[in-house]
Structure 1
Amino acid sequence: MQCVFVQIQCKPGQAYKVADAIALKEVHSELYSTSGQYDLLLKIYVPKDQDIGHYLSDTIFSVEGIERTLTTMTFTAF
């Protein structure tokens, strides 16, 4: 599994709806509301046999109300 963090900026007034829609998909490890430029922080484990971009597009980025995302991939520490 590949651990990926996704910061999500929602359209105004849509953060709760976006968070609920993501939670209903039950594909995430953790989901937080955040302050600052982005509204939500998502931690998700992508199966090794899946293309990360396609997986995120199919499961998360298609949620109505998302305006912008920033994806951070993780790697094994030294």
Structure 2
Amino acid sequence: MVTAIILINVQRQKVNQIAEQLADMEQITEVFSVSGQYDLIAIARVPRNDDLAEVVTRHLLTIDGLEKTNTLLAFKAYSRHDLEAMFSV
């Protein structure tokens, strides 16, 4: 599984709308509105690097009001939380 953190700048009046569009994407597992240099942070989890390229270079380009992204590729998780267990029913 490939995990990427996507830092996103958007038009101010479209923050909520774009966050909802991102959250509706199958490849995006979390979206956070944040303070600081970026407006939104999206977490993408995909099976392969090619799938991540598809998300970043194709799907994100279709979102009106998205101005800039910076994609960080995660190498290793150091979390004490088991996300799979947290979200399983």
Compute the RMSD of aligned alpha carbons: 1.9
Q: Identify, as 1 or 2, the structure richer in helix.
A: 2
- Indicate yes or no: 2:58 matched with 1:47: no
After TM superposition, which residue ranges in structure 1, 4 or more long, deviate above 3 angstroms? none
> Where in structure 2 are there 5+ consecutive unaligned residues?
78-89
Give me the TM-score of the superposition, normalised by structure 2: 0.73
Q: Distance in 1 between matches of 2:75 and 2:56?
A: 18
Give me the TM-score of the superposition, normalised by structure 1: 0.81
Kindly tell me the number of residue pairs found equivalent between the two proteins.
Answer: 77
Aligned-partner SS, 2:13: coil
Identity %: 29
Aligned-partner SS, 1:75: coil
CA contact (8 A) 2:23 2:30 kept: no
Measure how far apart 1:50 and its partner are.
2.5
